[in-house]
């Protein structure tokens, strides 16, 4: 057994992922850690004076605070929140087709930023961090936007799209920064922070 394998096997904490997102579950599993998944349903409102990464960090902490059980010192709860930021405005999950269409029309032909805030919390300590990626979209045709919203119903995704599905394939010219951060979890930073914890 090599040292990385041993480190992952002997990781001294029980990891709990507080997320409904199948993408976050898949990414954490791919990192090699074993974990329990306990989704948290937290209210996702935030103070209107917060900007960009402040929103993602605030919501990640809010989700951690909404965890219903008492955390032991030997447990680490991971919560995260991803937002899309474009032209000084936040784009969370669209409520419906009309909102999704408006979002994608705004992102079309432009660069936007994707911020993911992450909170790690145990019984006796807490740390937060974030990552940012720049995503460049080509100009989208109205029929492409409509096809996507009807067939892929991306209403659980910040900005109204998934980087790993059809719109990601046809719309993204380039990404500066982590692809996985756009998916919803900055795995490189998360790995480093868990090892440090």
The CA distance from 38 to 17, in Å, is 6
The catalytically annotated residue of 81, 131, 156, 165 is: 81
- Would residue 49 show up in a list of annotated catalytic residues for this protein? no
The CA distance from 111 to 93, in Å, is 18
**Burial letters 121-147, b for 16+ CB under 10 A, else e:** bbeeeeebbbbbbebebeebeeebbee
Contact 113, 52 (CB under 8 A): yes
Burial of 119 by CB count in 10 Å (0-12 exposed, 13-18 middle, 19+ buried)? Answer: buried
Structure tokens at 194: 């868990």
Structure tokens at 193: 């922070």
Element (H, E) at 16: strand 14-17
Q: Phi first, then psi: what are they for 82, rounded to 5°?
A: -115, 130
Would you name the residues annotated as active-site residues? Answer: 81
């Amino acid at each position: 057994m090599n040292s990385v394998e041993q480190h992952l096997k002997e990781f001294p904490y029980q990891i709990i992922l507080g997320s409904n997102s199948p993408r976050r579950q898949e990414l954490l599993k791919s990192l090699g850690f074993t974990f329990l998944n306990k989704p948290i349903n937290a209210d996702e409102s935030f103070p209107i004076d917060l900007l960009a990464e402040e929103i993602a960090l605030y919501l990640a902490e809010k989700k951690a605070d909404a965890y219903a059980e008492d955390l032991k010192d030997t447990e680490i709860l991971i919560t995260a929140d991803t937002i899309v930021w474009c032209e000084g405005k936040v784009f969370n999950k669209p409520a419906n087709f009309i909102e999704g269409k408006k979002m994608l029309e705004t992102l079309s032909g432009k660069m936007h930023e994707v911020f993911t805030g992450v909170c790690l919390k145990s019984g006796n300590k807490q740390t937060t961090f974030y990552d940012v990626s720049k995503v460049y979209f080509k100009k989208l045709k109205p029929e492409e936007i409509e096809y996507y919203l009807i067939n892929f119903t991306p209403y659980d995704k910040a900005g109204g799209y998934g980087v790993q599905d059809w719109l990601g394939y046809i719309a993204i010219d380039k990404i500066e920064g982590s692809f996985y951060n756009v998916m919803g979890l900055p795995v490189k930073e998360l790995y480093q922070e868990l090892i440090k914890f």
